[in-house]
Structure 1
């Protein structure tokens, strides 16, 4: 059976060009559109049911589901997603789920009602009902900064959180640290679990038995980081360094040290993860592992647009690299 790829090959153009011509996209020259139509007639080609349905219900509306608009990481990434999509003629509908599973499912139901062309999602919770809703959408879906379950054949744009955590730990080991505490995000968090796994495996590779007293599962905020640091200092007084699973937790740990006369990095080293703008303020200067937020947002938007243009329900996922950003909160220890 002839496909859109065969038409593109016959004409010597890309699949994207043929798809855009079928959708009457303004960027495609009229001559090209005519060539595509003539080729379709010549080869007796008819767009498949999915292509026809997508063309018929095209709304130029894209949904963006984020877990917490007050989190600077997600707000900045959402801005970059919206910028790319709006530049290409799409209206973006934001939904802030406040990390609530009921709001996630409510959004997925609304996608069907609004006949959106595609969605970008960063879910915290994905129970069986939510998975079923995603499968029933029958539109392009891109996961951003988390991986979909294996049963959902949908692409993602993310970093390797495990390797990023290992990179942070290797840096602390290179400075001579062995008693390293961990301030974690909520246990249900995929990214938090991956960073915790990197922390644990890194210790084991060094022949260090993880001390449960040095692990504090908490929330995501500065206040949570403050409380976690307070507990770790009480439980593990010999601790020389802390790996905070996100930057806000790291800033909270720094706030605790500042209020309690603990010198950073002379008495204790602290490293975070994300590279938020707050980490580079004049008094903080937090050493951290950077995620390319701007690139992640842009890549997710570009991937979704390609899927919508080519009428695809799946595509290759994109994994970006993390980078160690060395500032002022880590140093070697006296041997």
Structure 2
């Protein structure tokens, strides 16, 4: 696996708007439906078997140490609760910058992810570190709001200094087959995001089928997503090896067709180092080494970092410190 670039490295080798390659497909809802439903169907049994097989791969201790550091550097350390306070967000930012205060060689996380009203607090907490500030927007997590309200939400986050915007798609419109509405909304959010990178959340647990996840992946990428993201973490089914594998296949195939690279962010339910390493194997074996850095792959998580830190110390010292070794989020 390659060395991890800093979180403030250039975002993309390509600045091409992918929509330019799909003008015919996005000319109408009928055309977009024809394109999306013309994508190859997903072999659910084969997909799940492939994900399960990759999850059994074993790695050597030296590779495990590298994978743990890589996973830490890919975390969007997240707090998205109604009880969030400036103090909590400030503490989370400090943890993102120095995850293990006793070991300054520990990699910083990729970003801190908060609600728009906490962006300024998060920016102050990570100032000068290279850690990005991401903000959910567009009436997260349900997305049930008028477009004007969603765009105002995005602009509030960007005006406060957000480096990245995590939006949710209108799942109701998508499931009703109104793909053009979803496409146009993503385009509008992309424009409102300005220079901030855009992560498009599908809420895969509500899309019901793997075919729908593949269609949503292509729809998001055509509309200009910088990342495609599995879920909000607020529903029963979030990131799984199978749905993440499917999205990794989609970004790989999209780059082959357009030359544009798009990142992937599984979010929700990834809590242990063992799980994180399994996802990194998925990345390496599916999309390839180009995605093995925090410009192109992220974990949406909070408790995952604690387990990674404990496993990191165990590898370094031979002792397992337990949960008191890490801060409580």
- Indicate whether the TM-score tops 0.5: no
What is the TM-score when the length of structure 2 is the normalising length?
0.29
Q: Which has the larger radius of gyration?
A: 1
The structure in which a higher percent of residues are strand is 1
